[in-house]
Each structure stands twice: as C-alpha cells, then as structure tokens.
Chains A and B, each alone.
Chain A
Amino acid sequence: MITGCLAVYRREMLILKRRFKRQAAGQAVSPLLYLLTFGYAMGGELRFDGTRYLDFLLPGLVAMSSMTQAFAISTDINVARFYWHIFDEFQAAPISNASYVAGEVMAGISRALMSICITLGLGYLFGVRLHYPPIFWLTILLNSFLFASLAVALAMVVRNHADQSLLTNFVITPMAFLGGTFFPLDRLPVWLQKILGLLPLTHASTAIRAAALGRPVHVMSLVLLAVIGVVFFGMAYYCVNKARD
C-alpha cells in the first residue's frame, strides 16, 4: 500500500514543484487581503478580550487556509479525472483504493502546510507574534486531513467541473466565514452558536487560536476533528471504488 500511496503523492508534489511560484503567489493573495482589510485597515485599534484583532485574526486565517488549500485538491483531481484522464492511469495500476486516497490526502495536507507557512510569514510581516506549540500544528494536520479527505470523496462524486465549483460555493465558502475565522462566536445568539459549533472549522479555528495565544486547547475539539477526518477518509475510499462507471 505504501509504495502506491507514495507514487500518487510524488506525482502531486512534482506538479506542485512545477507550479510552485504561481501556487505560492495564489496562496498569498487571500491572507494578504484579509490582513490588510480586516486586520490592518479596519481592526488596527480593535481588541477582543484584551487580544489585538490582528493576533485574533491570524489563527483564524491559518485554520481557513488549512481548510481551503486541503480542499483545493478536489479541483486538481477533477481536472486530472475529466480533462487529462490521469485517474485512469491510477485505476489501471496495481494499487489499492486506500493507497490512492492516502496519496491524494497527503498531497492536500502538504498544500495546506505550504499555505500556512505563507500565512504565518505574512502575519510576521504585519507584526503578529504568536506561539506555535506542537498542539497548534497537530490541529492544523487534523483539519487538513479532514478537508483533504472530504475533497477526494466529493471529487469522485461530482460529474463535471461546474458541480465542483458549486460544492466549493455551498460547503467551503460559508464555513470559511462562519467557522470562527473572523469574529468570536460567543457574540452570536446561542442558537446560532450551537449550529456553528457543528462545523469542523469552528473547532479547528478555536483550537488553533487557543494554542497560538498560549491558552488551553479543548481536547474534545481535536478528537472530533480526528473522528470526522476518519469518517471522511472512509467516505473517500468508498467513493473511489464507486467512481468506476
């Protein structure tokens, strides 16, 4: 299983290497704009519970980047499947579906880590100095794992590129704005807090922010991310098998 998984991963990394400059530039645009508009221009003087808004915002952007970039592999898989037919090469190869899913998920996690390094670098340039303990990185890994697994599953379910964009618009974009990225959820009505508490990104951003600000992290959030991640990985495995027409 490992050799097949590494072969799939290597292919994705070779492509990432070839696109590195434009990929890095693309990954820098969103966090840069958010830091400029929400953090620098609008929130320079703003504080939440004694925390500068920029310090509050950056962990949220890290959580959001890990989600969006891990999920972005779904578009690449989609293009490889419907446009270049590379997926056929993997399906005709003597590798298990689990190897394929694991390779793609690892690629999604790698892309997410790359974007987080860019986001943290930009934060540093904006004067943000936070803590990055192991639990900070563990939460990022779990969040990336979860969304990369979801990306593989959904990439197998969709039938064309247009459906892929719809999924991003309906699943990822709302979560990016409502998952505790830009504002503390405790200012919202309780019923809405409960609903938003069901989103994995809410748990990820809360845990990442707590770790980055040197506060205690709720272990249950990490357990929840791990459990949902495993469920999504299982879904991806099932969907790859179902992708044969």
Chain B
Amino acid sequence: MSGSHAMIEIRGLRKDYGRVQALKGIDLTVPGGQLFAYLGPNGAGKSTTIRILTGLTRMSGGSASLGGFDIERDAIAAKRQFGVVQQYVNLDQELTVFENLDIHCRLFAMKKKARRERIDRLLAYVDMTDRASTLIKKLSGGLKRRVTIARALLHGPSILFLDEPTVGLDAAIRRRIWALIKKIQQEGTTIFLTTHHIEEAEFLAERVAFLDEGRIVALDTPSNLMARVGSWAIDLVEDSGMKTRYFSTREEADRFRAHGAFTMRRVNLEDAFLSLTGKKVGQ
C-alpha cells in the first residue's frame, strides 16, 4: 500500500462552471503513505478537487490518476484505489450501521466471509462494535462520522480522501477523529485531507498545499511554510485593524515586545497563508 511512488497525480486540472473557473490548473503529486492536507478558505476549490478525483464531478481539463489508474480512462480501477469521507454524512438514515457497511462491501464485490470480517474489524477499529445494529438516525454526529470513516476503509483502499472530516464536530470529538486519522496513516494509507481548520492541518499533515481561488499558491511541509514568515509573531491592534509582526528569533520578538504590552506566540499555518494570500483560511 505505501511507498514513495506517486499515489495521486494531478496535472493541469481545471474545472469551469460556466464563466466561473473553480480550478485553474492544479499540478500535484502525493507519494504513497503521505498525509497530505489541502488547505484553503471556503470556495477555494478544495471540495471540487476531491469531487473530481472521486468521480462525482467531471473535469474541464487536465488529467489525474489514482494508484496509477487514470480517473477518466480507467474509472472503475481508479475507484477501487480509494475510500472517501465526504464533508456531509451520506449514510442511509433508515438502515443500521451494519447494513450501511454491508452495502458498501457489496458495491466493492466483496465475498460474504470477507464482508463479515472487515465489518467486524472496522467497527472495532472505530470503537463501535456495540453499535452494529443501531439505526444511523439514532447516532450522534461524531458517531456518524466514525461510521463514514469505517465505511471508507472497508475495502482496504490505498488512498483515503477526507473532505472536511471534522466539520461541525466539537473539539473533543474532533481530537478523537484526528487520532483515528493518524492511526490510519501509520498503517500505510495515503491520506488526502481538505480542511479549513488550521490546527487540523498542523497536527496531522506531513505536507500542505495552500489553495486560493482555484490555484495552489504554496506547497511544502508545514514547518517550511511557517518558516517562510518567521518563528514568532506578535499581534498588534492598530487604528486600521489587526496587524501581525513576524520575527525570525525569539530574541527579536522579545526586543519588540519590550516596547509595549504585547502577546507573543509561535507562528502558525494561518500566518503563512495570510502572508501569501492576504486572507485567512477560515474566511
């Protein structure tokens, strides 16, 4: 499953909705086993990219392959490579957890014994063995999210797409989901994560792409992206609004802080994004 070869390859990917260009030529390679975060504000094109890669939306130009299979020419083979967790819960509310998982296995033509084994294993994996016969509509939002993650992993995909997997969840549940995502990646699955939660990308990702208005504006490790703006930051309230000063060393920041009652903090990915685009990720 894992390895350094490219699991996701995107070349010149474009998507037009009439005159609106949602994606303006995305080039991206994600090697096997990497946890890759695709970061950008709402409307930047994150979900559109995932929808194209997972076969839900038609591309307007360019090409993409998953596990070496072209998503247009070898669509069925490409679809066998991945599991996907959408930002909305797309489970059958009137069916039980087990039934939802079983239908997914059948869509992937899994045999009866394999279906049973994988469902048992994945339910244990997401700590929901005792919920197998519960109707989906009776589960909380966090539990539903765990079912969608279990479902995406049932057929043993080498790539997992996570489209805003923690949107709408409270902080405690979000951290449980993060731990689960880390565990999945450590087992060798390539993870492509879209998020506008800065801390999510910082905590999880090995490599981050900043997406803004349909273009990748930066692509690097979180530490390198943050190092571009500095190591320390001081937020200043000015007449024109909030301003942030960045410093390479703590000593420089300390010297500046001596001139007033400022709060000093470590630089984060939001700062890197802001300095590149002039926007906040959460906008």
Contacts and interface: CB of A to CB of B under 8 A. Distances in A.
Interface in A67-86: 84-86
Contacts of B103: 7, 10-11, 14
A28 interface: no
Nearest to B106: A7
Interface string B99-126: 1000110111100000000000000000
A14 B108 contact: no
A94 B104 contact: no
Contact of B56 (A8, A10, A91): A91
A158 interface: no
Would you call the interface of chain A mostly helix, strand, loop, or mixed? helix
B207 to A, nearest CB: 24
A88 B86 contact: yes
A6 B106 CA distance: 8
Interface in B76-98: 76-77, 79-80, 82, 84, 86, 88, 90-95
A91 B55 contact: yes
Contact of A19 (B94, B107, B108): B94
B95 A93 contact: no
**Central interface residue in B56, B58, B79, by most chain A CB within 10 Å:** B56
A186 B46 CA distance: 62
A19 B94 CA distance: 9
Contact of B80 (A19, A94, A244): A94
A85 B80 contact: no
A89 B104 contact: yes
A187 interface: no
Contacts of B94: 15, 18-19
Given A88-B86, A91-B56, A244-B57, A3 B92 contact: no
B109 A88 contact: no
Interface in B10-63: 17, 54-58
Contacts, number: 72
B107 A93 contact: yes
Interface string A1-41: 00110111011001100110000000000000000000000
Nearest to A242: B58
A20 to B, nearest CB: 12
Given A7-B107, A11-B103, A89 B95 contact: no
Contacts of B80: 94
A84 B93 CA distance: 8
Contacts of A245: 17, 56-58
A90 interface: yes
Given A7-B103, A14-B92, A244-B55, 5 more contacts: A3-B106, A10-B106, A11-B95, A14-B95, A245-B57
Leading 9 A-B pairs by shortest Cβ distance: A7-B106, A85-B90, A93-B107, A94-B79, A3-B109, A7-B107, A92-B54, A94-B76, A244-B58
Interface of A: 3-4, 6-8, 10-11, 14-15, 18-19, 84-86, 88-96, 244-245
22 contacts: A3-B106, A4-B107, A6-B106, A11-B92, A11-B103, A14-B92, A15-B94, A15-B95, A18-B94, A85-B88, A85-B90, A89-B104, A91-B54, A91-B55, A91-B56, A92-B82, A93-B108, A95-B76, A95-B107, A96-B76, A245-B57, A245-B58
